[in-house]
Amino acid sequence: MSTADPTATRITGMGDGRERQPNQKLPKKNGSETVYPHASVLVVEDDATVRAHLLEVLTSHGHAVRSVGDGFSAFREVSRAGLDAVVLDLPLPDIDGGDALRMIRSISQVPVLVATACDEDEEIVNLLNAGADDCLVKPFSGGQLAARLGAVLRRAQLSRSAAGPESAASVAVGDLQIDRLARTASLGELELRLTRREFDLLWFLAQHAGQVVSKRRILTEVWREPYIDDQTIDVHLCALRRKLGERGTRPHYLQTVRGVGIKMVAPR
How much is the pLDDT for 45?
A: 94
8 Å CB contact between 57 and 33: no
Class level of CATH domain 6-162: alpha beta
How much is the pLDDT for 137?
A: 92
Is domain 170-264 classified as CATH 1.10.10.10? yes
How much is the pLDDT for 1?
A: 40
Q: Is 136 helix (H, G, I), strand (E, B) or coil?
A: strand
Share of the chain above pLDDT 70, in %: 79
Domain map of the chain by residue range? 6-162, 170-264
Q: Which helix (H) or strand (E) holds 119?
A: none
8 Å CB contact between 9 and 53: yes
How much is the pLDDT for 109?
A: 81
Give the β-pairing of 10-11 and 184-187.
unpaired
Alpha-carbon distances, residue 113 vs 92, 100, 109, 147, 264 (angstroms): 14, 13, 12, 11, 35
pTM: 0.59
pLDDT digits (tens, 9 = 90+) for 92-118: 999 999 999 999 988 888 899 999 988
How much is the pLDDT for 230?
A: 76
- Spatial CB neighbours of 96, under 8 Å, sequence gap ≥ 6: none
How much is the pLDDT for 20?
A: 38
How much is the pLDDT for 228?
A: 72
How much is the pLDDT for 244?
A: 92
| DSSP tally for the chain: helices H, then strands E | 8, 16
Sites in the chain below the pLDDT cut of 70: 1-37, 81, 159-168, 248-251
